Amino acid sequence: MGNFKDTQLKALAKKKIGRHHDGDGLYFVVPKSVRKNEDGSGKVEAPGKPYWMLRFTYNKKRHEMTLGRYPDLSAAEARLEAALKKRQVREGQNPIALKKRAEEEEIKTVNDLFKDWHEENKSRLKHWKIPERVYKKDISPHIGALNVDQVTARDIRRVIKTINDSGRPTISNDALLYCKQLFNHGIKIDVLGANPASAFQVTDAGGIEKSRDRALTLEEVRLAFKTFRENQHIFTRDNYLACALLVLLGVRKSELCEARWNEFDLDKAVWELPKERSKSGVGLTIPLPDLALEMFTELKTRSAGSEYVLPSRRQAKRPHMGPDTLNRAIGKMFGYEPGKNTNPPNLMGDMEYFRVHDLRRTCRTLLASIGVPGHVAERCLNHKLKGVEGIYDRHDYFGERKQALSDLSKHLESILI
């Protein structure tokens, strides 16, 4: 029998912070909790939520492990649990290792497996939200609730086929890659014997991707933005200004869509892009030419007090413009709207289709066309300089970039206004 009666435990839980030995390595622990005084005048130490802890020696080393909280685990149950752990020690087993293994065996469903795999992604991937987004949107709805050992190759085929049928071959390739990595993780932690995605190749998903080289000509820029302006009931003013700024500044879509007003000094006409939001991992002071400054000033009014430059205009999980908003808007102008039974009319005529990232490439191309030196244009896009030049040349080219973006702004002013 242990030392403490139930009445004693209740009294200890209320008043006695510390470890209280119940016998044979079992302790009743009352942790310290810091709380505010009732009158709000300061903080005071008070007993926290008590729990049971076992101390034991394994392989000539002292170990401690938590058995459970009190009163969820009663004194009798804690003593029985302690006796079982001590028996494991006598049989040459480490109770802590056995507990960890049991926790790993709690991975039953694909969603459980993803949660475990994704914890590693957060520590090793800079852009860990990308696989999370693809999984939650396009993989989990099909197989997330299945037990990991129930997923078959046919399930994987259904996932990638559904994405392909929605007109997103690149995402289909990404989903296949993540499925392979996810189930390989399951094999690694010994909750799965085979990978149901292993036999599939890129050709089974979205196909071999060709590097895009689409850049709009000046005349295409003129026609595209004229069409956008003429159809503001479809292509909203926020979308228009965002696309125009991508052409003017050459920033990445996410850098603009997720921008906060505290990054801007409109009086000094600069945008301090933080390194945490830059794909290159390098922060950049972006000079704002007059036309861009006018657009940001308008967006400041349109944002109606939001901390974001482009706040979400409808109820959504994210407070800013979503990653797919602009591509969906452009696609609709070309007569393509995924998920609809009938597509809208094509308002862009016979112009070759373009995506949001092509606007950044257009900016780079236009900078070259007006005579901006290559190294300055590359820094405008926050690209790292290559080779020896990149190693030794740490100059930010702020003055040169300011002149280049100003010249581009004047070049496009009559087109974008």
Q: What is the pLDDT of residue 217?
A: 95
Q: What is the pLDDT of residue 391?
A: 40
CA geometry: angle 60, 66, 68, nearest 5 deg: 150
Q: Which residue has the tokens 């993780």?
A: 185
Residue-wise pLDDT for 70-81, tens only, equals 988 899 899 999
Domains of the chain as residue ranges with CATH: 6-104 (3.30.160.390), 110-204 (1.10.150.130), 218-416 (1.10.443.10)
Query: Of the candidates 271, 318, 275, 272, which has an alpha carbon nearest to the alpha carbon of residue 295?
Result: 271
Cβ neighbours, 10 Å, residue 284: 20
Q: What is the pLDDT of residue 125?
A: 82
CA distance 351 to 328: 17
Query: Of the candidates 219, 220, 288, which has an alpha carbon nearest to the alpha carbon of residue 251?
Result: 288
Q: What is the pLDDT of residue 385?
A: 63
Q: Which residue has the tokens 């690694």?
A: 188
User: What predicted TM-score, i.e. pTM, was given to this entire model?
Assistant: 0.60
Q: What is the pLDDT of residue 1?
A: 47
Q: Are 270 and 286 in contact (CB under 8 A)?
A: yes
CA geometry: angle 85, 90, 95, nearest 5 deg: 35
Q: What is the pLDDT of residue 393?
A: 43
Q: What is the pLDDT of residue 104?
A: 60
Q: Are 76 and 84 in contact (CB under 8 A)?
A: no
φ and ψ of 47, to 5 deg: -65, 135
Q: Which residue has the tokens 């949001």?
A: 356
**CA 46 vs CA 32, 43, 72, 388: distances in Å:** 6, 10, 20, 62
Question: Which residues, given as ranges, of the chain have pLDDT below 70?
Answer: 1-2, 37-42, 102-105, 209-211, 315-316, 339, 385-395
Query: Of the candidates 30, 26, 27, which has an alpha carbon nearest to the alpha carbon of residue 11?
Result: 30
φ and ψ of 368, to 5 deg: -65, -35
Q: What is the pLDDT of residue 191?
A: 85
SS3 53: strand
Query: Of the candidates 52, 63, 53, 69, which has an alpha carbon nearest to the alpha carbon of residue 93?
Result: 63
